[in-house]
Amino acid sequence: MYTSARAEYSQATLDSGFDRHANYNESHFLRKPPAIKILITTAVRNRAVTTNPEEVASIFTAHWRSIMIAPTDTPLPDAAQVSQVINHVDSELSPEQRNDLDRPTATSELRDAIKSVRKNKSPGPDGWPAVFFQTAPETFAAILSIVFEYQRKQHGCLLTHQHKSSITLLYKKGDRTDPGNYHPIALMPVEVKILSRVLAYRLSAVAATLIHPSQAGFVIGRSMADHIHLIDALQHKATRDNEEWYATFLDFAKAYDMVRWSFLFEVMEKMNIGPDFLSWVHLLYKNPKPISSSMAPSAQRLNQHGESNKAAHCHVYYLTFTWSPSEQCSVHTRKPASN
C-alpha cells in the first residue's frame, strides 16, 4: 500500500511539473523548477542604506562594471613596450602540436563535450539546458558541427542569442549590501559552452608546454596544493636560518577580467598557435553581451567594451606573463623540452 501510494504521489508530482513547464514557456520545458532566489534589495550609497530597487540595481551594476569592463578613457598600451614584452616570449608549440590544435572540429569531440556537461547546470538566457542536448548527443553534435563551422568560416560571428550571457551574483558572506561580497558567474548558452569546452580540452593537452611551472591553476598534472607546501617549506627554512623573508599575495580579482584581447592574440600567435584555432577563439570572444540578471528590479546591460569574457576557456589567460617596471618584464612562459 505504501509503495503504491508513494508511486502515485511521485507521478502526480511529475505531472504537475509537466503542466507547469508547458504553461510557463516551451523553451524552459526541460529546466528544473526555478530555485528560490533571494533578490538583492538593499545597498549602501554615501554611507546611507537604500532600498530603492532602481538605486540598488544601479549601485551593484556600477560596482561590477568597474571590475569587468575597461573604462572608456583607458589609454592604449604603449606599442613599443608591448613589442618588447612579446619578444620575450620564448615558448612555442611544435609543428605537430600546432597542427593538432588546428585540426577540424570533430563530431566526436562535440558529442563528448555534450555528455560531459552536468545535467543540473543552469542554462543561459535562452533557457535551453544541457539535458536537452543530452537527449540525443550524436544528433546535436552533428548539427552543432555544421553550425559552428559555418559561423567560423562564412559568418565570422555567433548568433545574436549566442552572444548573450546572464551575469548572476552569488552571495558569499558578510554584509549583503556590499557588492564585493558577491561572486559573479556568467550563464551562457549551452551550445557555446560545448564549443568552449572542446577548445579547452584541446588546449589543455599542450598547456603545460606553454604555461610557466609556477602557474598551477587550470593545468593538468599541477595542483594549488604544491604552492601551499612550497610556502610552508619556505617559512620553515626562514625560521631555521633565522632570516627575514617576505611573501606577497596579489589580488587576482580584476586581472583575469581585464586581459586586453588584442594583446592576448599576439601572445598566442607568438607561441605558434595556428590560425584555425585562433579563429575559433575569435569566434567566442567577438561582441559578447553580458546582462545582469540577479539585481532588482530588472536585468541591465553592462555595456561591455570588450575586455572581459569569463565564458571562454581559462587556459588562454595563463599563456601570458606579468609586467614589472623594476625588472622590465617577467615572462611566465615555458620553453619546450629539447629532444
Q: Is residue 61 part of a domain?
A: no
Pairing of strands 43-45, 48-50: antiparallel
Structurally, how many domains does the chain consist of? 1
Q: Is residue 50 part of a domain?
A: no
What per-residue confidence (pLDDT) applies to 333?
37
Encode the chain (339 residues) as per-residue pLDDT tens digits.
667 767 777 766 655 654 554 444 444 445 544 454 567 888 988 888 999 888 888 898 888 877 777 677 878 888 898 898 899 888 999 999 999 999 999 999 999 999 999 887 888 888 889 999 999 999 999 999 999 999 999 988 888 888 888 888 888 888 889 888 888 888 889 999 999 999 999 999 999 899 888 888 778 888 888 888 988 999 999 999 999 998 887 665 555 556 678 888 999 999 999 999 999 999 988 776 666 555 543 444 544 444 444 434 444 443 433 333 333 333 333 433 444
Q: Residue 235 is part of which domain span?
A: 1-24+33-38+78-288+309-333
Rg (Cα) of the chain, in Å, rounded?
A: 24
Residue 95 and residue 81: Cα distance in Å, rounded?
A: 29
Q: Is residue 282 part of a domain?
A: yes
Q: Is residue 73 part of a domain?
A: no
Coil vs helix vs strand at 302: coil
Question: Is 0.75 surpassed by the pTM of this model?
Answer: no
One-letter amino acid of 329: C
Q: Is residue 123 part of a domain?
A: yes
Q: Is residue 59 part of a domain?
A: no
What per-residue confidence (pLDDT) applies to 143?
96
Residue 322 and residue 317: Cα distance in Å, rounded?
A: 11
Q: Are 288 and 163 in contact (CB under 8 A)?
A: yes
Q: Is residue 46 part of a domain?
A: no
Q: Are 297 and 41 in contact (CB under 8 A)?
A: no
What per-residue confidence (pLDDT) applies to 160?
84
What per-residue confidence (pLDDT) applies to 77?
82
Q: Is residue 146 part of a domain?
A: yes
How far does CA 81 lie from the centroid of its chain? 28
Q: Are 234 and 246 in contact (CB under 8 A)?
A: no
